[in-house]
Chains A and B, each alone.
Chain A
């Protein structure tokens, strides 16, 4: 069969068309699936960024340069409070996802707002902690340990900040268009993002704060 014959054959095009049509039939699932997997792979690459930051911090974590050591500057009650806030924000986002499954738009918005406020509280407390450290002279320039600390924890805080921004955008989207399929897909991506940040925070509070204070 020649190429020309293939192109001219009236039976060929409908076949292609049917394939497309077929894809479109579970289009919501298929595109959603592709996006979700793609977003997941982005998160995994983000995990590698955090891995390099953790490795850097791990290597530099005892290079105090005569400056303050973790035991002197870390306030564990504050970190425990922040950890609790982030953990609760994980479950409130989970409730938003369950409300989405039950197609309760108002509940989704409510839980998103709660999650966003908890996230804002987390970032606020972290900024307060940073301000205190800098006030005490424990600035990123003071020692390699502090450079690594501010880079690692700051990058996580920046991620949370963008997560809050995304929550705000989703609230606008939901307000304008409701729980259509695209918004559901976006909410699921945001869900992965938010829970992923909580996973990274487990590493931060364990390896930076708790092990730092133990050292």
Chain B
């Protein structure tokens, strides 16, 4: 195979091989992702703006659940994270980051909430007074 044909061949399958290593998906995949996320966006806005569920806590749980589902839909349909991309390393990095994100957010909220509730209210005089 000479250089020219090789270049042509590699150019011809460039899209394909890139698709294998880090796919950019098909029209169908993007449309499915778009339709799913349109629904997953519309429902929480509808629930909050109309107050359809009456119960605030139920609404909160619903919209958080839908947000998590939508993040997963975007990850699969738009970011194309799967077990094959980059030999699974994008998925590994993604999973690791997800764990870190959860620890940072949940940990901060947990610690700061308890700090707030357990701190004794301190009179201003005491705070400013020299020891």
Q: Which A residues form the contact surface with B (CB < 8 A)?
A: 25-26, 28-29, 32-33, 36-37, 40-41, 44, 47-48, 51-52, 54-56, 58-59, 76-77, 79-80, 83-84, 87, 90-91, 94-95, 97-98, 100-101, 103, 181, 184-185, 188, 191-192, 195-196, 198-199, 202-203, 205-207, 210-211, 213-214
Contact = CB atoms under 8 A, between A and B. Distances in A.
A33 B86 contact: yes
Given A51-B104, A210-B48, A28 B10 contact: yes
A79 B93 CA distance: 31
21 contacts: A26-B10, A32-B22, A37-B22, A47-B101, A51-B101, A59-B108, A87-B37, A87-B38, A94-B34, A98-B25, A98-B27, A98-B30, A100-B24, A103-B15, A181-B14, A195-B78, A198-B74, A199-B74, A199-B79, A202-B74, A203-B67
B45 A55 contact: no
Contacts, number: 149
B18 A29 contact: yes
A206 B74 contact: no
Given A101-B24, A210-B45, A95 B17 contact: no
B24 A191 contact: yes
A40 to B, nearest CB: 5
B108 A36 contact: no
Nearest to A54: B105
A37 B86 contact: yes
